[in-house]
Structure 1
Amino acid sequence: MLRQSDRRARRRSPPRRWWWRWCGRRPWRFLAVFAAVLLLASYLVCAAVLRRANALGRRCSAGWNPAWPRLRIAMVSFSDERGGGGRSFLGMMDAVRSNKMKYSAARGYDFHDAGDIVDRRRPPSWSKILAIQRHLPDYDWVFWNDADSLVTNFSITLDSVLWTVIGDAEFDDLPDLILTEDFNGFNAGMFFVRRSRWSDGFLQTWWNQTDFIRFGSTKSGDNDALKYLIRELPAEERRRHVRVSPMQCLFNSYPWVFTWKSFYRLLRSPGSFWRGAYSDGDFMVHLAGLDNKREWVTKILNGT
């Protein structure tokens, strides 16, 4: 039986916090909570830094040089469900089409919706090759952009994007294929093709890579076929005809969304994310690999 003095002392002692009672006898609980808080804090910091990369000094474009000649460039894309984008993208095609048409009209480019030429014998993304082949003879360059992409900065021109990559090259030294590279390698979602004999042959060879065609999976095979062809090019031919943008964010930015895989990739290759993560002020955003594309389109078009 407790003495009266002991009871008074117990009443005076401060009560233990609930979290201390919960974690005190099981240290692993404390470690789990600490790890979760640390992970959440890391995500918030990473997301904030990457979204403000341009304000923090990242430079995607070289700007505009008045000496650069004007080029005849067409934007070509799919803007209906036949052109891909995934189930989560259905219902937003009109908004995407309107976004690209407004940009093209404002900057003096032609926009072509190539959804009418999708070859049903293959996954829809393969038909980007047919779309480029149809329109390339009428222009100096064709800029292919997947259906799940949006223009986010109307002040940037396609000419400035091209010349940022090309630099001061003479006409005979111009590349024929300009694309970006992410943590998975070359990306076939957004790229430029120049009208040339080499481009004609490369596009046809790409189309002929039927061994890469895949149905019923997240991969259709066209991107793998492109990476294979570029890797197999002789070094001199690749140097002469293929150019990779030093900064992915020049025309093919990806939103950074937290998943275990993306967080691991960020830790493994922070430079890739710094060069390619979508930031306010970027030219275009590409919603590659995202499940909630409709939500992203709505947020981006609403400026949030």
Structure 2
Amino acid sequence: MVRPRTRGRTPIAIILVLLGYICYLHWTESSITTSSSPVNSLADIQITTETKGWAKAGLPEISIYQRPLLPVPKEKMRVVVATMTTGQTTYDYISLSNKIGYVNKHNYAIKVDFALPKDFVPLPFWHKLDMFEYLVRTGDYDWIWWVDFDTVITNTTIKIEDIIADALRDEKNPDNIDLLLTSDCWPLNAGSMLLRATPRLLPFLSSVWKCGDAPKEPSEQDCIRDILNSSPQERSRAKWIAQKKMNSFPEEIGCYDSNNLPWSPGDFVIHFAGAWAHLKGKAKRDPYGVMMRKFHEWVDKTELSGTERYQVLGEGPDDKGRDENVVTVTVTETVSNSAPTAGA
């Protein structure tokens, strides 16, 4: 029998390595880099969620939190994508594989929550504020991209940092902009938002929470809008960009910003907000699933391949005997870029 060399020393070495690793984990979780500027210092900001939120209710029990697969160089922007879903859908695989494939391609982080914290009181969509606060407090990111679960990233070649750079290029004080937002046919759609992961975002989140305590219980979207409109100072922290930049709607959901442009091949992301109110017939049984299955085939393509594509829509056969639940689209040519498909 061959005996291991340095038999007596190996356990001691292992113990020392483990102790060092535990100390490292403790330091990275507890330490936060602070700034000398009061507005940017976590030390000068009190707990923002007084009666709600992760600081009081705790973190959700079911969550995916994947950090970048590779170290992010110091000169690169640190981006995290955040989304949530609290129930099973017919498009879970499409949505998750699409988003995880995208973040892996660009070395971003991703956080997906599948449950609410215990004793969470507000409606589920308010939990996104918990997620913002958590990600800000890690100190690990420069920007957060919140994107609703009922979305498909249809052009994975577009980078978050390029959207941000383009939006801030003409700003006199770009470092003062903390939110990049879009409207639709309403002043704000909170289904796709970019937030700077700075400590000065926390008092803003606190104000949004307090707005939600109003007797009429407004949505988090309404409260974000109202707080931004409450003063010139609050308004100056946000910039609205074109809907097609990061929150396109399909023709089936004709609720567009002032540019009045629906999604088209090559757009970054498509969002099916309010699909339940727009689709008809059998499609109304699973409106979001219908739209997700239809458009995930467009990932990184400008046209679809094949001679026909079918999509369940409509109400039943017409007077000619054709089943109008099936819409036929004839495609004669395919043009696809070389980017890999994420979520198809």
TM-score normalised according to structure 2 size: 0.56
The answer for the alignment partner of 2:240 in structure 1 is 244
Higher helix share: 1
Larger radius of gyration: 1
> Contact (CA 8 Å) 2:179, 2:195: kept in 1 or not?
yes
Number of aligned pairs? Answer: 212
Alignment of 1:165-176 (within 5 A): 165-167=167-169, 169=171, 173-176=175-178
State the distance in 2 between where 1:145 and 1:252 align: 9
What is the alpha-carbon root mean square deviation over aligned residues?
Answer: 2.5
Confirm whether residue 228 of structure 1 aligns to residue 219 of structure 2: no
Deviation, 1:236, is: 4.2
State the distance in 1 between where 2:83 and 2:174 align: 28
State the distance in 2 between where 1:94 and 1:172 align: 37
State the distance in 2 between where 1:209 and 1:254 align: 28
> Contact (CA 8 Å) 2:82, 2:112: kept in 1 or not?
yes
Deviation, 1:172, is: 6.8
Letter in 1 for 2:149: A
> Contact (CA 8 Å) 1:76, 1:111: kept in 2 or not?
yes
What secondary structure sits across from 2:81 in the alignment? strand
State the distance in 1 between where 2:234 and 2:225 align: 15
What secondary structure sits across from 2:229 in the alignment? helix
State the distance in 2 between where 1:151 and 1:254 align: 12
The answer for the alignment partner of 1:98 in structure 2 is 97
Deviation, 1:187, is: 1.4
Confirm whether residue 123 of structure 1 aligns to residue 123 of structure 2: yes
> Contact (CA 8 Å) 2:168, 2:174: kept in 1 or not?
no
For residues 84-105 of structure 1, the C-alpha deviation after alignment (integer angstroms, 9 at most, x for no partner) is: xxxxx82212220111000000
Match of 1:147 among 140, 146, 149: 149
For residues 169-209 of structure 1, the C-alpha deviation after alignment (integer angstroms, 9 at most, x for no partner) is: 57773411111122210111111111223211111211222
The answer for the alignment partner of 1:52 in structure 2 is none
Alignment of 1:16-27 (within 5 A): none
Alignment of 1:129-208 (within 5 A): 129-136=129-136, 137-167=139-169, 169=171, 173-208=175-210
- Evaluate the alpha carbon distance shift between residue 96 and residue 80 of structure 1 in structure 2; reply closer, same or farther with a 3 A threshold: farther
> Contact (CA 8 Å) 1:179, 1:244: kept in 2 or not?
yes
The answer for the alignment partner of 1:45 in structure 2 is none
Deviation, 1:213, is: 7.7
> Contact (CA 8 Å) 2:116, 2:124: kept in 1 or not?
no
Deviation, 1:168, is: 5.5
What secondary structure sits across from 1:208 in the alignment? helix
State the distance in 2 between where 1:214 and 1:106 align: 43
Letter in 1 for 2:226: Y
The answer for the alignment partner of 2:76 in structure 1 is 70
- Which structure's relative contact order is higher, taking Cα pairs within 8 Å and 6+ residues apart? 1
For residues 53-108 of structure 1, the C-alpha deviation after alignment (integer angstroms, 9 at most, x for no partner) is: xxxxxxxxxxxxxxxx6310100001442xxxxxxx82212220111000000111
Letter in 1 for 2:163: V
The answer for the alignment partner of 1:300 in structure 2 is 295
For residues 212-241 of structure 1, the C-alpha deviation after alignment (integer angstroms, 9 at most, x for no partner) is: 5878xxxx6111111111111x224422x1
Structure 2 alignment gaps of length 5 or more:
1-74, 277-286, 299-303, 305-344
Deviation, 1:211, is: 3.7
Range 195-204 or range 140-149, more displaced: 195-204
State the distance in 1 between where 2:155 and 2:140 align: 26
> Contact (CA 8 Å) 2:249, 2:263: kept in 1 or not?
yes
- Evaluate the alpha carbon distance shift between residue 140 and residue 273 of structure 1 in structure 2; reply closer, same or farther with a 3 A threshold: same
Report runs of 4+ in structure 1 exceeding 4 Å deviation: 168-172, 212-215
Structure 1 alignment gaps of length 5 or more:
1-68, 82-88
What secondary structure sits across from 2:264 in the alignment? coil
Task: Give identity over the alignment, percent.
Answer: 24
State the distance in 1 between where 2:240 and 2:210 align: 23
State the distance in 2 between where 1:146 and 1:222 align: 13
What secondary structure sits across from 1:183 in the alignment? coil
